[in-house]
Amino acid sequence: MSAPSMTLYYNAASPFARKVLVLLRETSQVDRITLKAVALTPVSPDAEVCANNPSGKIPALRLADDNVIHDSRVILEYLDQQHVGNPLIPKEGSARWRRLTLASLADAVTDAALLIRYETFLRPAEKHWTEWLDGQREKIARSLAYFENEAVTELSSHFDVAAISVACALGYLDFRQPDLGWRSTYPRLASWYYEVSQRPSMVETQPTV
Amino acid sequence: MSAPSMTLYYNAASPFARKVLVLLRETSQVDRITLKAVALTPVSPDAEVCANNPSGKIPALRLADDNVIHDSRVILEYLDQQHVGNPLIPKEGSARWRRLTLASLADAVTDAALLIRYETFLRPAEKHWTEWLDGQREKIARSLAYFENEAVTELSSHFDVAAISVACALGYLDFRQPDLGWRSTYPRLASWYYEVSQRPSMVETQPTV
């Protein structure tokens, strides 16, 4: 077996990095990657990450030829073309746009949850702004209601880019907002999430501090 | 000529919507789209947008079959497959990952510029947080330095997804931070931007309040 040829900059708490870790497992590519754990926030960047991705964000993937690709969506599509199994991102047609739109909505949930985290954990308490927090929470609530009412059957069909993105968004909500109580409001989504959470790819990538 | 079959939710000040408007012009698809201008912020969502995209974000594109796709990246790729000219997103190979990575970096600049806008324009003054603003400004500075030193020749090769994304990011910086003075620090990027700014697609989509 050849040595790993790619390096993934990640953090075990990062929901966007987790999507990549899950896809690597679902497509049997874990052995191809060297994991490089880094710690950073928007107000405390990591120098090595910045040297690889000037935005300072993770995940970033350094390829064997030393080119670096980012962000998570670009990495997911790149890695999905590097295996011989069924694609986790439909190559074309209406399925592609639908699954990528569901993934985009999941990423919007994750972005909102991250902005809430930055507001409540990084920012000094006297500078918290309630309307901002409410706006992000409403974004999450509308999106989860959509998954519950309009998309849960579709999500159940394949554990692909859409399902991985929603699962990682929900996992991040549980990690950072354990008292949110979303399961009682969105029971079908909760049932779907309970099932996909048992997958080894999800169990092995649970967020940790 | 058939009536427009798609509806784009946008705002004339939105840098992410502008990418779509520019691509529509560059690929001669303007006549296929009905534009629906909406006004929104993260703390004052628009009900019609939320009904189409639960995240509440623009751009969102309603297709002829009433399916809605988002976000801007998904819309750009969808529209790039609907015309017969040269693709503005490489279909495969290393060019695809490189151009999408440059576009992702441009989007990170735009995201940082939007967060600065929300902090300085929406948020009450007493809740502004200097470290947050500094972190976003450094993200922009590192990314512009990268475009200047590592990517300006590549950007010059095609006015494609990478170039459109960088041009719209710079246009948004000029629109919201006219005193930033980035041109003297990044003269090659400034020269490239001056040239692409003359394109009708850029002139006709200049941000307005």
CB contact under 8 A, A54 and B94: no
- CA A109 to CA A171: how far, in whole Å? 11
pLDDT in tens, B111-121: 999 999 999 99
- Asked if B104 is an interface residue toward chain A (Cβ–Cβ < 8 A), one would say yes
- Domain check: are A73 and A110 in the same one? no
The domain that holds B143 is classified in CATH as 1.20.1050.10
pLDDT score, position A209: 85
Q: Across all residues in chain B, what is the average pLDDT?
A: 97
Q: Looking at the partner chain, which of A43, A57, A108 has a beta carbon nearest the beta carbon of B55?
A: A108
Q: Looking at the partner chain, which of A71, A139, A143 has a beta carbon nearest the beta carbon of B104?
A: A71
pLDDT score, position A3: 64
- Domain check: are A62 and A129 in the same one? no
* Residue A101 placed within a domain: yes
* Residue B114 placed within a domain: yes
- Decide if pLDDT at B26 tops 60: yes
- Domain check: are B107 and B178 in the same one? yes
- CA A77 to CA A75: how far, in whole Å? 5
Minimal C-alpha gap between A135 and chain B (Å): 5
pLDDT score, position A87: 98
- Mean pLDDT, residues A111-139: 98
- Decide if pLDDT at B142 tops 60: yes
Q: Give the DSSP letter of residue A147.
A: I
Instruction: For residue A133, give the chain B residue with the closest CA.
Output: B43
Quick one: CA torsion of A172, A173, A176, A179, rounded to 10 degrees? -150
Nearest to residue A73, comparing CAs of A46, A100, A39, A52? A100
The two three-digit tokens of residue A72, written as one number: 């998570």
- Mean pLDDT, residues A171-178: 98
- Domain check: are B97 and B43 in the same one? no
- Decide if pLDDT at A186 tops 90: yes
- Asked if A13 is an interface residue toward chain B (Cβ–Cβ < 8 A), one would say no
- Decide if pLDDT at B55 tops 70: yes
CB contact under 8 A, A97 and B67: yes
Q: Which of A29, A58, A80 is the last residue of a domain?
A: A80
pLDDT score, position A2: 59
pLDDT score, position B209: 84
- Decide if pLDDT at B147 tops 70: yes
- Domain check: are A22 and A97 in the same one? no
- CA B106 to CA B144: how far, in whole Å? 9
- Mean pLDDT, residues B131-160: 98
What pLDDT band is residue B2 in, cutting at 50, 70 and 90?
low
- Asked if B133 is an interface residue toward chain A (Cβ–Cβ < 8 A), one would say no
- Mean pLDDT, residues B169-195: 98
Instruction: For residue A44, give the chain B residue with the closest CA.
Output: B135
pLDDT in tens, A51-103: 999 999 999 999 999 999 999 999 999 999 999 999 999 999 999 999 999 99
* Residue B106 placed within a domain: yes
- Domain check: are B24 and B122 in the same one? no
CB contact under 8 A, B43 and A132: yes
What pLDDT band is residue B4 in, cutting at 50, 70 and 90?
confident
- Mean pLDDT, residues A113-136: 98
- Mean pLDDT, residues B190-204: 98
- Domain check: are B135 and B175 in the same one? yes
Helix (H) or strand (E) holding B61, with range, is: strand B60-62
How many folded domains does chain A comprise?
Answer: 2
- Decide if pLDDT at B37 tops 60: yes
Instruction: For residue B134, give the chain A residue with the closest CA.
Output: A43
- Domain check: are B72 and B113 in the same one? no
Strands (E), chain A: 6-10, 33-37, 60-62, 68-69
The two three-digit tokens of residue A154, written as one number: 């579709």
pLDDT in tens, A143-173: 999 999 999 999 999 999 999 999 999 999 9
pLDDT score, position B3: 64
Q: Looking at the partner chain, which of A73, A135, A143 has a beta carbon nearest the beta carbon of B73?
A: A73
- Decide if pLDDT at B1 tops 60: no
- Decide if pLDDT at A1 tops 70: no
- Decide if pLDDT at A4 tops 80: no
**SS3 at position A58:** coil
Q: Across all residues in chain A, what is the average pLDDT?
A: 97
- Domain check: are B34 and B99 in the same one? no
* Residue B204 placed within a domain: no
pLDDT score, position B69: 98
Instruction: Check if the interface score ipTM surpasses 0.85.
Output: yes
CB contact under 8 A, B127 and A131: no
- Domain check: are B120 and B70 in the same one? no
Strand ranges across the sheet with B60-62: B33-37, B6-10, B60-62, B68-69
Q: Which of B80, B102, B137 is the last residue of a domain?
A: B80
* Chain B residues within an 8 Å CB radius of A105: 53-55, 70
Q: What residues 52-81 of chain B have any CB closer than 8 A to a CB of chain A? A: 53-57, 67-71, 73-74, 77-78, 81
pLDDT in tens, B61-83: 999 999 999 999 999 999 999 99
The whole domain housing B191 covers: 93-199
- Domain check: are B106 and B32 in the same one? no
Instruction: For residue A93, give the chain B residue with the closest CA.
Output: B78
The domain that holds B56 is classified in CATH as 3.40.30.10
